[in-house]
Structure 1
Amino acid sequence: MDPLIRCWLQLMGLTAATALLARVDGRLAAVGLLALAWLKARAILRGFLHLGDAPGWLGAFMLPLGLWLAGLAGLCVLVLS
């Protein structure tokens, strides 16, 4: 299968998972949405921008993004508890 089609299918699956989280309320939904955002960013950076082929670049983007989203998730848990 073409890598771009595989990436597109991954994004469609993650979008469907995001829609399923609409029924969930509170902290779980917030943390789930942030985790799905991280997975979507990884799919885009790896599949469309081909950063998976460039040594170190995918991690250089994903680590700060992951730390930022983890911080936001922590704040969501604090505020919603």
Structure 2
Amino acid sequence: MTSNPLFLAWLTLMSLGIAAVLVTAGGAEFFSPVLFGGLLLLLAWAKARIILSRYLGLWQAPGWLSGFSWVIGLFCVLLLCLYAVAGLSR
């Protein structure tokens, strides 16, 4: 097995992609709509963090990685709040 960081990042992205497909394929019956949306946004946030860290090289600049992670995380929370409010208004 190799310990190449890009290969490991690629494997992680593939596994998160498979998890997202499994959540969307069968998750709507098992989870509430808000939890369903939260799971998808959490997976998207994790994938974005891996891309920023490994592919864009921000692991060498932890301050920038932390800043981008916070901004993307807050954006995901905003999207989740909008999704929840839209679901409550139905």
TM-score, scaled relative to structure 2: 0.83
Partner in structure 2 of residue 17 of structure 1:
19
Q: Which runs of 5+ in 1 are unaligned?
A: none
Q: CA deviation at 1:16?
A: 0.7
Supply the RMSD in Å over aligned alpha carbons. 1.1
- Structure 2 counterpart of 1:80, one-letter code: G
The count of residues paired between Structure 1 and Structure 2 equals 81
Query: Which residue number corresponds to residue 80 of structure 2?
Result: 73
Identical counterparts, % of pairs: 40
Q: Which runs of 5+ in 2 are unaligned?
A: none
Q: After the TM superposition, which of the residue ranges 18-27 and 8-17 deviates more from structure 2?
A: 18-27
Q: Could you tell me how far 1:29 is from its partner in structure 2? A: 1.7
Structure 2 partner of 1:59? 66
CA–CA distance in 2 between the matches of 1:16 and 1:2? 21
Matched-pair contact (CA < 8 Å) for 1:51–1:57: yes
Kindly indicate whether residue 52 of structure 2 is the aligned counterpart of residue 49 of structure 1.
Answer: no
Q: 2:7 aligned with 1:5, yes or no?
A: yes
Q: Which has the larger radius of gyration?
A: 2
List structure 1 runs of 4+ shifted beyond 4 angstroms: none
Q: Could you tell me the TM-score, scaled by structure 1's length?
A: 0.91
Among candidates 26, 30, 43, match of residue 37 of structure 2: 30
